Structure 1
Amino acid sequence: MKRHDFWQGLVAAAAVVGLFGGFGTVAQAKSTAKTVTFGQLTNHNTHRLAAIRQAARQQILTQTHAKSRRVAAVYQVKLPHHMTKKATLTANGVKMNLLANSFKVKSITIPYTQLRGKILNRYIPKADRTKAVKGKVVALTFDDGPDPTLTPKLLKILKKNHVHATFFEVGQSVSRYPKISRAVLAGGNELGNHSWNHPDFNSIGTAKTVNQVMRTNRDIYAATGQLPQYVRPPYGNITAAEGRAIEQPIIRWSVDSRDWSYLNKQKDINSVMRATRNGSIVLMHDIHAPSVAAVPTIIHKLKAKGYHFVTVSQLYNNQALPGLQYFGAGDYRVAGR
């Protein structure tokens, strides 16, 4: 795994798949409708096109006020796979026409704010573009929740310290404690998919892996009204075929606290502080009391070293794309590799 200086690494990595394509362009999306191809929108980047499909599914559900039982159906809607297909730039977002579908929707308009990092910046109004974070940054992530006692306690700690984190939740726990999942988002944090019941994806095959992810997407949507953007595979294991089939960015980590093995507050603190670097993604769990107890000290010590805490989306400036897996700033590869 390569290690880079944060900004040099991010720019170098982004260049490979054209993530910064068009960022130097100052032209603002026009209020008058304009027809463009998906190739133009994405700089012919298939990962970006997959990200547009991901945003389109959320928009279909939102636009139709769909119940959670319809989540599986939205993945059956035929969405663009070819760069020559056309869309329309409008004042409110990118409009695309749909083929006949069970939602009976003829077209959708995806807001520009939902397409940050997915289409080239030249097609996004300046006011809707994101700005890359500056300085030393670290993303705290927590797996295996929500826990009815520990997750609310952790949320209070984060709020008190003005820190936002990314939570990768297990579907069966989300179905039991949906209010806690809503509280995660209400606190300004991110919520990702960590499978339905934590199997090793490599051992169950692509079809069952997709089912694990879809069931969890459904329950997160039922709890929050939002499909999770990211997936973190249990144990970090995922095949290339599974990565393609899921069509969501895969978020791994660069700092493994091993809190699940220590179950010791001080060891957790020492482990994180020893390994954290600029642009790190830190893996912890909000189902272990010592882990949650270690968080205030970890935050205090990292702030003292000049770190700012960001969500995964902020770390990547909203440019994490389906089909790729991310380990830390400037360190990513095709899923399954």
Structure 2
Amino acid sequence: MRKRQRSIITGVMAAAAVLLLTGTLSAQAPAQAKTKVVNKTVTYGQLTNKQPHRLAAIREAARQSILQTTKAKSSKVAAVYQVKLPTHMNKTAKLTKDGLRMPLLTNSFKLKHVTVPYSELKGKVLNRYLPKADKTSKVKTNKMVALTFDDGPDPTLTPRLLKTLKKNKAHATFFEVGQSVSRYPKITRAVLAGGNELGNHSWNHPDFNSIGTSNTASQVMRTNRAIYQATGTLPQYVRPPYGNITAAEGRKIQQPIIRWSVDSRDWSYLNTQKDINEVMKDTRGGDIVLMHDIHKQSVAAVPTIIKRLKAKGYKLVTVSQLLNYQALPGLQYFGAHDFRTAGK
């Protein structure tokens, strides 16, 4: 795995980056009120500025709301992906005081509509349709770093790491393996309870490129179910083992793909001081740092890494905070302003 993975964003991609990551309106978009109007019917094209990735994000949020509205058991996770959700920009929904009310076709959950809270749509629909509390604003990513930890939860090391994060008032994102989540659900819940976030890292860590699209989707679905069973919530993100994913798999998964820009290679060193040196040598503002919470040497390195990064003026945040809550399905993210189509 490369230590740093950077893409060269062309002029066209740069324009897309501004549009997708800042929510800036296109030159053709008409000026509208800065706040949403309650009980107003809107099209998905209006909500998303006709961007398919944003519409995919609305569908992702709707699945979460369907499960929580019906208090569904984990056995219904696969079924929620069978619910027909909007794919056409001219379809309509309604802005209500509680959220976006979306009409549904006949489905196994027996819902005629679902209301998605505005908090779940932050960064996914244009700011002018959201309450003030849920609007995104510019963030100084040059002063932010996202630490991420793969392959847990570990029954001993993950709790130790959570204590370190809490003591240092830092947060991180944990990409967990489904079979371990099923084994240690209490620890998975503790990750969220500490103000951190969870991501999907497959069921048993295969190379997606070697198992095919169908099996990849099954790996992701099975882990989504395990995380939902443990926490009552679906994970927003997927990180493919070894960072490998095809374009077809990226489309099939229907969740944002999170990669990294700094690879600590802690799995190869198994040496605390080398882990510290590697992270500190390469990390800059806006980076996503890859580590693992299944190696004691890696967990032992974290207190010093946090201390030194803070001394440089960096704030340790979750992936969602670093990406300003604007990660979208179908895209993969390497850092704060470094993204491309999944599989590319």
TM-score in terms of structure 1 length = 0.95
Could you tell me which of 41, 45, 49 is aligned with 2:51? Answer: 45
Distance, in Å, in 2 between the alignment partners of 1:89 and 1:11 is: 31
Hey, what does 1:117 align to over in structure 2? 123
Are the equivalent residues in 2 in contact too, given 1:92–1:111 (CA < 8 A)? Answer: yes
Judging changes above 3 Å, is the alpha-carbon distance between structure 1 residues 150 and 283 closer, same or farther for their aligned structure 2 residues?
Answer: same
Residue identity matched to 1:102: S
Residue identity matched to 1:260: W
Alignment of 1:185-264 (within 5 A): 185-264=192-271
2:163 is equivalent to residue 156 of structure 1: yes
Of all paired residues, the percent bearing the same amino acid is 73
Alignment of 1:18-97 (within 5 A): 19-22=22-25, 27-31=34-38, 33-97=39-103
Hey, what does 1:165 align to over in structure 2? 172
Unaligned runs of 5+ in 2: 1-5
Following superposition, the deviation at residue 179 of structure 1 comes to: 0.2
Unaligned runs of 5+ in 1: 5-9
Following superposition, the deviation at residue 17 of structure 1 comes to: 4.1
Alignment of 1:129-140 (within 5 A): 129-134=135-140, 136-140=143-147
Residue identity matched to 1:123: Y
2:299 is equivalent to residue 296 of structure 1: no
Question: How many residues get paired?
Answer: 331
Root-mean-square deviation over aligned CA pairs: 1.7
SS in 2 for 1:140: strand
Residue identity matched to 1:27: K
Residue identity matched to 1:68: S
Distance, in Å, in 2 between the alignment partners of 1:67 and 1:175 is: 15
Residue identity matched to 2:270: L
Judging changes above 3 Å, is the alpha-carbon distance between structure 1 residues 68 and 137 closer, same or farther for their aligned structure 2 residues?
Answer: same
Are the equivalent residues in 2 in contact too, given 1:18–1:45 (CA < 8 A)? Answer: no
Distance, in Å, in 2 between the alignment partners of 1:17 and 1:273 is: 30
| Cα deviation 1:297-328 (Å, max 9, x = unaligned) | 00011111111111100001100000000000
Are the equivalent residues in 2 in contact too, given 1:13–1:332 (CA < 8 A)? Answer: no
Judging changes above 3 Å, is the alpha-carbon distance between structure 1 residues 281 and 13 closer, same or farther for their aligned structure 2 residues?
Answer: farther
Judging changes above 3 Å, is the alpha-carbon distance between structure 1 residues 16 and 127 closer, same or farther for their aligned structure 2 residues?
Answer: closer
Following superposition, the deviation at residue 92 of structure 1 comes to: 1.2
Residue identity matched to 1:15: V
Hey, what does 1:318 align to over in structure 2? 325
Hey, what does 1:7 align to over in structure 2? none
Residue identity matched to 2:66: I
Residue identity matched to 1:41: L
After the TM superposition, which of the residue ranges 298-307 and 126-135 deviates more from structure 2? 126-135
Distance, in Å, in 2 between the alignment partners of 1:38 and 1:232 is: 28
Distance, in Å, in 2 between the alignment partners of 1:239 and 1:73 is: 24
TM-score in terms of structure 2 length = 0.93
Distance, in Å, in 2 between the alignment partners of 1:306 and 1:127 is: 27
Are the equivalent residues in 2 in contact too, given 1:22–1:121 (CA < 8 A)? Answer: no
